[in-house]
Amino acid sequence: MPALPEYDVEAVRRDFPALAEGLAHFDGPGGTQVPTAVSDAVADTMRSAVSNRHGPFASSRRADAIVDAARLAVADLVGGDPAGVVLGQSMTANTYVMANALARTWRPGDEVVLSRLDHDADVRPWVQAAARAGAVVRWAEVDVETTELPAEQYDGLLTERTRLVALTAASNATGTRPDVRAIADRAHAVGAVVHVDGVHATPHLPTDVRELGADLYATSAYKWYGPHIGCTVGDPALLASLRPDKLRPSSDAVPDRFEHGTANFACYAGVTAAVDWIASHGTGATRRERVLDAMRTFAAHEDAVFARLLDGLAARPDVRLVGSPALRTPTVAFTVDGRSPLQVSADLGNAGVAVWAGNYYAVELMTALGLEGSGGAVRAGVVCYTTTAEVDRLLGAL
């Protein structure tokens, strides 16, 4: 493919019809808007003849092709094996399935190690599964000043009884990026399975699940310009060793055995379209190469725009930034003196600027930081279609 011109954010924005409504979207950590190619793929599938899977007729074969294409697309996005891509209602639903299946292999006194940095979807399923199995939950703590997750602490947390380590690749609250590979190597040294929550990281970074050391990697398409579908990418051999609850007549093949009920074929088509849209902004001989190149391009734009936002917030005497991680995604949490996070979010919303307030399901982190009882913090995030003009709009409204 020919070299792409310098990043043109206005051209990117023209692909997103929702942006024409005029809202300045800093709510990307909670979900992005979708490009026309994605909504068209969903609509076209719903207008086509699609039946349930594995039937001996054309509309069923179309369903099979849609599912296969979505698995391959997700694998190209994160560097996984399409034979290990589980598709489902959401990351939360998928993680509950994985937790229940893995917990069947645990025995009383086994241990799971969780992180205070994580979204509750990578906490509560494991806590509840551990309680049912009689396993012990151990916690990796955050540095409350920086919000970093020191890898060295895992040396004192991991034992020969550790069965699972769950951690995030990036905090959805503060953007903090822990050293996942260093932690995964420690976990694998004691024979533990590593589950990585990549929901917040995937939209902002070139991702390779093997380089991260993730045995299971969870992501959500609606965070990277797709529809509301959860994806868990695993080692097919690991998945084959697990026995989740399933209906008796449903397929026992991997990864089918982890997917409950009739698939959302239209949204699966949107998943493929979202990966194709990302890839269209990169160069390379394969879609995987184009995805990696595009993610590097997006990251460079996001970092430049985010620097303007972070500097603008830091310059205000009435703003308190939450954490100062050395590595982060373009996401920041902050508080404003004399106003609750909800008040700030509401007033910015009235000014046409979308930001979230609260704990954004990072309840363990907000509790550790002492913010949960006072309404959490305001959160703003930058994505590939965010502009410096929108940053100035947020700062001006603030």
Helix (H, G, I), strand (E, B), or coil: what is residue 61? Answer: helix
Q: Residues of the chain whose pLDDT is less than 50?
A: 1-5
1 Cβ contact partners less than 8 Å away, ≥ 6 residues apart: 283, 284, 290
CB of 85 closer than 8 Å to CB of 231: yes
The whole-angstrom separation of Cα 102 and Cα 98 is 6
pTM of the model: 0.97
CA atoms in the 13 A half-sphere facing the CB of 233:
29
- Long-range CB contact pairs, 137-140, < 8 A, 24+: 137/111, 137/112, 137/113, 138/111, 138/112, 138/113, 138/114, 138/162, 139/113, 139/114, 139/115, 140/113, 140/114, 140/115, 140/116, 140/167
How large is the C-alpha radius of gyration of the chain?
21
- pLDDT at residue 41, as a whole number: 98
**Model pLDDT, residue 4:** 41
pLDDT of residue 32: 98
- Residue 3, pLDDT score: 39
CA distance 288 to 340: 44
* Domains of the chain, first to last: 9-35+287-397 (3.90.1150.10), 41-278 (3.40.640.10)
